[in-house]
């Protein structure tokens, strides 16, 4: 059975991505990162999502917080609140973490090579996160090319494929797809700034996008 490395953040998109990777016939290694993110509840959500999906393994890799500084998500400045959906799509937001997907995909590539996996799945989405440069297909394609030039597998003719099955889907379609694949959204967190009990703030960009997505999909969000 082919093995895939799947980036699992604990959020809604990566939970659906993990389900898609399994549907595609892969045995999955779920990969999460501890990079000192404010929304640490994500890591326990990631563990719950991975367990529910019966992954081969769930690995939590530390990323030195000194490398991923400079974002409202890692402690610099305030998480924006109360912005409309229309506002969220404009410009590069304060929650952009410099080169985050580049660093995460580099780790995933190293782990894939060691595990003999030829697929890396990432829940990047260019619709809701149009302001994040590293959520664009053009970046993912360039990364795949660089990764295959950096690795033994790439050089020896067993190249890595970077799969972003949600890239062009609106949130409502992601939710519908997840429900079809049996994803339990009650296990996921999307909030950038949850309270100490892990409850979503309901006002950050990510809460706004999630809430609008469930509304457009015509279903109730099982997580409060």
Q: Interface residues with its own copies (CB under 8 A)?
A: 59, 61-64, 66-70, 92, 96, 98-103, 105-107, 109-111, 113-114, 133-134, 136, 138-139, 142-143, 145-147, 149-152, 154-155
Closer CB to its own copies, 25 or 91, in the complex = 91
Indicate the helix (H) or strand (E) that contains 30: strand 27-34
Indicate the helix (H) or strand (E) that contains 119: strand 119-121
Q: Which of 171, 210, 212, 205 is nearest to 95 (CA)?
A: 205
The answer to whether residues 112 and 154 touch, using CB atoms and an 8 Å cutoff, is no
CB of 108 to its own copies, least distance (A): 9
CA dist., res. 5 & res. 162, Å (int): 10
Closer CB to its own copies, 5 or 175, in the complex = 5
CA dist., res. 224 & res. 218, Å (int): 16
Count CA atoms closer than 13 A to 200's CA, side-chain side: 22
CB of 153 to its own copies, least distance (A): 9
Biggest distance spanned by C-alpha atoms of the chain? 50
Closer CB to its own copies, 1 or 138, in the complex = 138
CB of 161 to its own copies, least distance (A): 15
Closer CB to its own copies, 110 or 179, in the complex = 110
List the structure tokens of 58: 């769930």
CB of 30 to its own copies, least distance (A): 13
CB of 159 to its own copies, least distance (A): 12
CB of 22 to its own copies, least distance (A): 23
CA dist., res. 82 & res. 211, Å (int): 13
């Amino acid at each position: 059975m082919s093995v895939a490395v799947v980036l699992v953040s604990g959020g809604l998109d990566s939970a659906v991505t993990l389900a898609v990777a399994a549907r595609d016939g892969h045995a999955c290694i779920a990969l999460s990162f501890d990079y000192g993110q404010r929304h640490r509840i994500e890591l326990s959500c990631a563990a719950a999502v991975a367990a529910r999906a019966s992954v081969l393994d769930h690995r939590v890799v530390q990323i030195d917080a000194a490398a991923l500084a400079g974002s409202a998500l890692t402690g610099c400045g305030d998480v924006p609140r109360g912005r409309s959906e229309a506002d969220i799509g404009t410009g590069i937001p304060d929650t952009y973490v410099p080169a985050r997907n580049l660093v995460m995909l580099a780790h995933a590539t190293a782990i894939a090579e060691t595990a003999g996996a030829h697929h890396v799945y990432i829940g990047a989405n260019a619709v809701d996160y149009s302001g994040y440069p590293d959520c664009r297909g053009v970046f993912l394609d360039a990364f795949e090319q660089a990764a295959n030039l950096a690795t033994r597998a790439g050089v020896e003719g067993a190249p890595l494929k970077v799969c972003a099955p949600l890239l062009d889907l609106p949130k409502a379609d992601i939710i519908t797809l997840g429900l079809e694949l049996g994803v339990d959204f009650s296990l996921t967190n999307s909030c950038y700034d949850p309270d100490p009990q892990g409850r979503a703030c309901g006002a950050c960009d990510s809460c706004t996008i999630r809430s609008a997505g469930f509304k457009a999909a015509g279903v109730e969000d099982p997580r409060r």
